[in-house]
Amino acid sequence: MNAPERTAAFLLDDGEEKVEYYADTKVSNAGTFTFNKEDHTVGNLLRMQLLRDPQVKFAGYMHPHPLVHKIHLKIQTNTSQVAPAETLSAAIEDLSNETDHLITQVTDAIDKWKKENVSGMIGM
Amino acid sequence: MPQQRFPKVEVLSIAPHAISFILSETDTSMANALRRIMIAEVPTIAIDLVEYAENSSVLNDEYIAHRLGLIPIRYTPEGSMKGGDCHQAFVPHRECLCYDRCARCSVEFELDVNFDKVNQTRPDQERDLPLTVTSRDLMSNNILVAPAHFLSEEEQDESHDEGISIVKLGPGQHLKLKAIARMGISKEHSKWCPVAVATYRFWPIITINEEACNMLTLEQKQELVEACPDRILALDEITNNLVAVENAYEMATFTEDLKMAQEAMKKRPEDEDFVSVVHSTDRFVFSVESTGAMDAEEILLSALRVLKDRLNYLAAEVEKLKD
Ligand SMILES: [Zn+2]
C-alpha cells in the first residue's frame, strides 16, 4: 500500500527540476548542486572528473538515502573568478567527449576483433 | 581548461551472448558508471501487461504474468541477425502520444494453448503426458520482436523443452492470453535488465624483482610458484627465472599466500619483495554476459549511448541554471 512508485527512481515528479543549485552561505566560491533522479553512476563520475580540475578546491557528492532518488554534489573553486557552475559544465563536457571517444574506440575494437577472428562469417 | 581523457578499448573475445574487453587509461568512476548503466539503464523490451481470456492451468494469473515478464524479448533490426538496441525503434510508453497503446510503444503477443486440442495431434508415446507451454507459443504481432528462446544452439540442444517453459497443462486445461510488451529499464523492474553478468576486475600489475630473486634457490622459487592457488607464476624453462604467466590477469585474485610465502623467505623483514602483485587503477578487464535480449556488444554500445545522452541532458540543465 505504501510501496514507492515503480518510476520513482528515474522519472522527475511533477514540477520537479532536474538540477537545483544552492550557493553556500558560509564558504566563498562554493555551492551544492542537487541532481534529482540520479544516483552513484553520475555522482561519482562527476566528482572524479571535477577533482581532476586544478581550479576545483573541493568536490564531493552524497546520496542521502537509498529511497531518496537524488544526489548532492558540493563544489568549491579556488577563486571567485570561476563559479562552481562553470567547472561543472566543463566537467560534463569533458566526460561527454570522453564518452564520444569511447564509442569510436569500442566500435573500432569490435571491428578489429571480428576481422581477426571471424573472417568470412555471415551475419556477424 | 579541458581535462579530457582518451581511454582505450581492446576486445578479448566476442560471442553473441558474451563480450570480454579491456578498458584502459581511465579511472574506476568511468568503469563503474559503464557497469552500472549496463545493469540498470540500458533499455530492453519485456512483457509488462497480460490480459487473460482463459486460464484453467494450475498456476494463477499473477504467477504466469510474472513468468512471462521474465522471458527475454529480442528486438532484431531489419536486415540484421543481432539482438539490437530497441531504443531507436520504440518510444517509451509513458512518452507515447497514443491513447492506450500502439505499435510505436508496444508489442502484442498472443498465446492460446488448449491441452485437448494439442493432444490429438501428438505422437502416441507422448499422448496424455503433461504439455509444456513455452516461449515458442507466444505469437508476436511485430516480425522484428520475438522471445529469445535460447542463448545458443548448444543450450538449445541440451534443453528438454522447445523454449522457456511457462506452465504445464494437463487434460482439460486451457491457457489463452494477450501479453503486452513495452520498452523499459531495469531501474523500474529487473525484468528489463539486459545482462546476466556485468563485472569488471582490476588489471593486476605483477612485478618480479630479478635481483632479489637471484638470491633464491630453485626450490624456493618453486615454492613461490606453488604458493598461488591459481598459478600466476611459472619458472622459465631455460633460465629458471620466475616469470608471470601470459593469462595471469584472469587468475590473479588471491595473492595473500604469495605474500606469506615470501615473508618467510626474507632474511630481514624489511627486505624488498621478490614478487609484488598490486591492482592497476586505470586498467579494467570487463566481462559481460547477455540474458539473450540483446547481443552483448550491443549492450555495451547502448550503455555508452545512454551515458552520452544523459551527460548532454545534464549539460543543458546546468546551462539553464546559469541564467
Ligand atoms: Zn503508443
Residue B188's CB is within 10 A of a number of other CB atoms, namely 18
Residue A29 located in a structural domain: yes
Q: B43-192: which CATH number, 3.40.640.10, 2.170.120.12, 2.70.70.10, 1.20.1740.10?
A: 2.170.120.12
Instruction: Tell me which residue range forms the domain holding A10.
Output: 6-122
pLDDT tier for residue B196 given thresholds of 50, 70 and 90 = very high
- Decide: B159 and B150 in contact? Cβ < 8 Å: yes
Interface test with B, best of A21, A98, A114, A119 (most B CBs within 10 A): A98
Mind listing the pLDDT tens digit for each residue in B133-163? 999 999 999 999 999 998 888 888 888 888 9
The per-residue pLDDT for B2 is: 78
The per-residue pLDDT for B151 is: 84
- B143: its cell numbers: 516480425
Mind listing the pLDDT tens digit for each residue in B96-136? 999 999 999 999 999 999 999 999 999 999 999 999 999 99
Mind listing the pLDDT tens digit for each residue in A66-82? 999 999 999 999 999 99
Contact B14 A113 (CB under 8 A): yes
b/e burial code for range A65-88 (CB count within 10 A of at least 16 → b): eeeebbbbbbbbbeeeeebbbbbb
Interface test with A, best of B26, B81, B187 (most A CBs within 10 A): B187
The per-residue pLDDT for B225 is: 92
Chain B nearest C-alpha distance from A2 (Å): 17
Q: ipTM value, please give it.
A: 0.94
- Write the CA distances from A8 to A37, A81, B43, B238, B318, integer angstroms: 8, 38, 17, 64, 22
Q: Is the pLDDT of residue B283 over 90?
A: yes
Residue A53 located in a structural domain: yes
- Decide: B258 and B43 in contact? Cβ < 8 Å: no
Local structure of B147: helix, strand or coil: strand
Q: Provide long-range contacts, Cβ within 8 A and 24+ apart, for B156-163.
A: B161/B132, B161/B134, B162/B132, B162/B134, B162/B136, B163/B134, B163/B135, B163/B136, B163/B137
Q: Which of A45, A106, A112 lies at the smallest CB-CB distance from B29?
A: A45
Distance CA B323, CA B321 (A): 6
Q: Where are the domains of chain B?
A: 8-39+198-287, 43-192
A chain contacts of residue B305, beta-carbon cutoff 8 Å: 103
Answer whether A23 touches B (CB < 8 Å). Answer: no
**Architecture field, domain B8-39+198-287:** 2-Layer Sandwich (3.30)
Q: Specify the CATH number for the domain of residue A53.
A: 3.30.1360.10
- A95: its cell numbers: 566526460
pTM (2 decimals)?
Answer: 0.93
pLDDT tier for residue B317 given thresholds of 50, 70 and 90 = very high
Contact A99 B307 (CB under 8 A): yes
Residue A90 located in a structural domain: yes
The tally of domains found in chain A comes to 1
Contact B27 A48 (CB under 8 A): yes
Q: Which of A47, A96, A102 lies at the smallest CB-CB distance from B312?
A: A96
Residue A1 located in a structural domain: no
Residue A66 located in a structural domain: yes
Helix segments in B234-295, DSSP class H: 248-251, 256-265
Distance of alpha carbon B76 from the chain centroid: 18
